[in-house]
Structure 1
Amino acid sequence: MTAAPGRSDRVFITGASSGIGAALAREYAARGACLGLLARRRELLDDLLASLPHPERHRIYAADVTDRQAVAAAAADFIAANGGADIVIASAGISQGTLTDRSGDLEVFDAVFATNVNATVATFAPFIATMRSQHGPRRLVGIGSVAGVRGMRGAGAYCASKAAVRSYCESLRLDLRSSGIKVVTIAPGYIDTPMTRQNRFPMPFLMPVARFAVQAADTIARGSSYRVLPWQMGVVAKLLRLMPNSLFDFAFSRAPTKQGQGQA
């Protein structure tokens, strides 16, 4: 159930034009938040803004999340317009199958890490100084993945990038522990989004994206350090973490892979 906010939160979300980012935008708008929404595709941002309650309260920024100067400029504009930010969610992410020896996949590794890892840092960085001076709940939210728990066949770039997001957020949580800013990592399992619809294999415990957004927003409000959604995938993640390498290798060495560059 969607909780009514005690006050109007100021929420900045990257990757906001589709998938998890758009679902979080809709959920926070329903809770009465003032939003800053950043994504590459201006037309999708316009459509999203028009669908939200009180669109005049929100600001959109058409920018590539890997453009650090553009992200910093959007953050500065949002802070100036709203007097700060309460929640910053680095939701932008891309996924593509990769093989280390396949021609062109080194460039794919670069792109995946630039979007999934480096852009998370670039999203948080311009907000921290202002958030340190604020009072009340403050959250920096990284979107990881269950894929970051163990490396999966044919998904080296994506799995490694999401493992990096988790480790980075852990480090940042320690860095900011005395500041009052809480760092939250949300690790989605299979969520019904345009990204997962490209998968060519069964997706257990597939979760509707709107339900994910409700549970993610509640987790962020509590300031939990780490949560896997849906909860069933959290159980799977714990089992994978405990599984000996020999058993893991045997079980997953022939698992289906993500679609790679040039594959139909």
Structure 2
Amino acid sequence: MKLDQARILLTGASGGIGQALARHLAAQGARLLLQGRNTEQLTQLAASLPHPEQHQIIAADLCDPAGRNTLLTQIADLSPLNVVINNAGTNQFAWLEQQSEAQIHQQIQLNLEVPILLSRAVLPYLAPQGVIMNIGSSLGSIGYPGYSVYCASKFALRGFSEALNRELQGSGRQVLYFAPRATKTSLNSATVNAMNEALGTQSDSADVVALQAVDALSRNQLRRWVGWPEKLFVRLNALFPHLVDKAIAKQLPIIHRFAHASQKGD
């Protein structure tokens, strides 16, 4: 896909990966509609990008039907869209019994329900060769202790992406699924960062993830997982899940320790 002058809707633009995506897409000449909940952060981001006059912002809560309607009203004035990137998301590191009903609902709603509803709503405004890119996770293919609800949402997002892409076959439109591994952003608590260090888990910067995502988008790559050995574990988990069971079982004492610390608060 040619990104120069492409009209792109980017959700979650004020977050770590979102900001990095905005910078790299703008550097390619894309015209961005940047969604987030904080007007000040979005304004500062748009002003920092190349050709700020080409970009627009919209402060809206996508978990609120009124917020989605506000976004769609602005999209209607800017259509057709060439790309929609469903990037907004959240996570909660804790054992399931430690998570409140509100925390569970928030993860399912923002990580899964919002991309589904937004994808449905934007289809009439998507260009004939348009693309929807859903930002998933390596934990959308590997169930991991402490992230049961997050994994559930990302597993489902991966299935949704695959199914919708098959629905759209022959239309010229595509749905891409992009899955980074652990990423250094403000979504991670100090406890999670310490656990990743103790486990030797490799983490990428938001900038590295954004570069990979833009490359996958420019190539119209239907599926991309980022990082090694995460790519290997994704394949092993699909074919020989008992091997991954054993590998993660060895990590459980460390995960338990940090999950307990997370329950007490950072």
Shared topology, TM-score over 0.5?
yes
Corresponding residue to 2:109 among 114, 129, 145: 114
- The aligned counterpart of 1:31 is 28
Matched AA of 1:263:
G
TM, length-normalised to structure 2: 0.87
Matched residue SS, 1:88: strand
Label 1:262 to 1:70 Cα distance change in 2 as closer, same or farther (>3 A).
farther
Matched residue SS, 1:66: coil
Displacement of 1:160 = 1.0
1:98-247 superposed matches below 5 A:
98-102=94-98, 105-131=100-126, 134-135=127-128, 137-196=129-188, 198=190, 199=192, 200-201=194-195, 202=197, 204-241=201-238, 242-244=240-242, 247=246
Cα RMSD between the aligned structures? 2.3
Task: Say whether the 8 Å CA contact 1:190–1:196 is kept in structure 2.
Answer: no
CA distance in 1, matches of 2:66, 2:120: 11
Matched residue SS, 2:97: coil
Misfit runs of 4+, over 6 Å: none
CA distance in 1, matches of 2:142, 2:227: 18
CA distance in 2, matches of 1:232, 1:60: 37
1:29-108 superposed matches below 5 A:
29-81=26-78, 83-102=79-98, 105-108=100-103
Displacement of 1:213 = 1.1
Displacement of 1:253 = 3.5
Which residues of structure 1 form unaligned runs of 5+?
none
Matched residue SS, 1:94: coil
Task: Say whether the 8 Å CA contact 2:144–2:151 is kept in structure 1.
Answer: yes
Task: Say whether the 8 Å CA contact 2:60–2:70 is kept in structure 1.
Answer: no
Matched AA of 2:117:
A
Deviations 1:203-238 (A, max 9, x none): 633222222212211101222111111354212322
CA distance in 1, matches of 2:210, 2:6: 16
CA distance in 1, matches of 2:3, 2:25: 13
- Greater helix proportion: 2
Deviations 1:6-57 (A, max 9, x none): 6410000110002111111111111111100111111111111111111111
Matched residue SS, 2:34: strand
Identical pairs, percent: 28
Deviations 1:49-91 (A, max 9, x none): 111111111111111121233223313313413x310110010
CA distance in 2, matches of 1:107, 1:260: 17
TM, length-normalised to structure 1: 0.88
